[in-house]
Amino acid sequence: MKKFSLRKLGAGVLLAALVGTGAVAAQYHRHGMEGHHGFPMQHMQREMHALHDKLALNSEQQLLWDRAEAMTKDAMQAGMERHRQMHEMMKSAVGAANFDPRALAAKADDMADQDMAARRAVRSRWLDVYDKLDAKQKATAQAFLKEHFARFDRMREHFREHMQERKDDRMQERMQERMQERMHEHGERRPG
């Protein structure tokens, strides 16, 4: 019984983490609801719709899902607006004659507190959805999350490799530039 409860708790936390984190992550993109170049948020929405279809929710669960989804969207939009306002405020504050970095930091902290409160509220709403799922639906959600995190790990590894390749390419370019500079320096020093 204890093992089942821990598994159930773990799956619930994972579901909340995925949905809450994915939903609020868009707040930090200044490129609209779709995230940078449209891909991340569209992809997350497709994944959530696929999970929704697999869960085959009853009417009570569907109502909770709809409320969680609406709260997620509202939190994302409010967060993006807060960040836009903060960005504008920072630009004007830096240009002001009486620049006060402490006041700016306090406002940034207030915004971070609002963001955290929104994340917690969204997470709570999604946990309410999870609580109403039956055992089969919870297993479906857990399998979905497992695959999501595996895919995320593959993407992260691919990105890491890509960044390492770029770093290696830049390093090679710098070495070639230095060699050319040295050859040029040595060429000028030689008596002609």
**DSSP code for 49:** H
The mean predicted confidence, pLDDT, of the chain is 80
pLDDT at 85: 93
pLDDT at 59: 97
pLDDT at 4: 47
**Of the given ranges (11-15, 80-84, 106-110, 111-115), which has the lowest mean pLDDT?**
11-15
Name the residue ranges covered by the structural domains of the chain.
2-134
User: Is residue 169 over pLDDT 50?
Assistant: yes
Helix, strand or coil, per DSSP, at residue 134:
coil
In tens, the pLDDT along 5-35 reads: 445 444 444 444 444 444 444 444 444 444 4
In tens, the pLDDT along 120-166 reads: 999 999 999 999 999 999 999 999 989 988 988 888 888 888 888 88
Nearest to 73 by CA among 112, 113, 125, 131: 125
pLDDT at 165: 83
User: Is residue 190 over pLDDT 80?
Assistant: no
Contacts of 42 (CB under 8 A, 6+ apart): 34, 35
- The more confidently predicted of residues 149 and 3 is 149
Contact 122, 19 (CB under 8 A): yes
pLDDT at 31: 44
In tens, the pLDDT along 65-97 reads: 999 999 999 999 999 999 999 999 999 988 888
